[in-house]
Amino acid sequence: MAKGSSNRAGSDVKAMSRELRRMSERLEALQASADRIEEVVAVLVQPELLTTLRSVFKDARQLRAYQLSDGQNSTRTIGKLVGVDQKTVSRWWRAWKKDFQIMEKAGSRGQFRGRYALADLASMQAELAAVRDGTLVEQAQLF
């Protein structure tokens, strides 16, 4: 390989490295913006969100258990974190799956995961409240 082509290859690698670093910095800035937007939206929908969540979750322990239900955590782990027996968490999972269709099987060991983010639950509940045609409500009923 000639010396000139070696210098050119080294220059190309440096340019690519700079470009990758610049792209990485831009992605980090975009992620920070997205995180901030999510925080602002959460504050704006909080009153509606709380009303909706109260119709599904009876207390803060249930709400936290739902948030921890990511398909990785076991009933034992979640129970310890929220202060209830693992059988209670299992009962909650089954009820949320049967009554609200907000849970789904996620692991080979029987774990479940929440199907929706909390804000999504509130949004769906608001849509249901706006629709009062009996047929549509029956078909779309989540809560």
Which residue range(s) make up the domain with 43? 3-140
pLDDT at residue 24, rounded to an integer: 95
pLDDT at residue 45, rounded to an integer: 66
How many structural domains are present in the chain?
1
For position 136, which CATH number holds? 1.10.10
Lowest mean pLDDT among 16-20, 56-60, 90-94, 107-111: 107-111
| Rounded average pLDDT over 24-40 | 89
Percent of the chain with pLDDT over 70: 76
**Summary mean pLDDT of the chain:** 81
CA distances from residue 46 to 3, 28, 81, 101, 102 in whole angstroms, order as listed: 64, 27, 24, 22, 20
Q: Which residue has the tokens 């909706």?
A: 52
Q: Which residues contact 42 (CB under 8 A, 6 or more apart)?
A: 49, 119
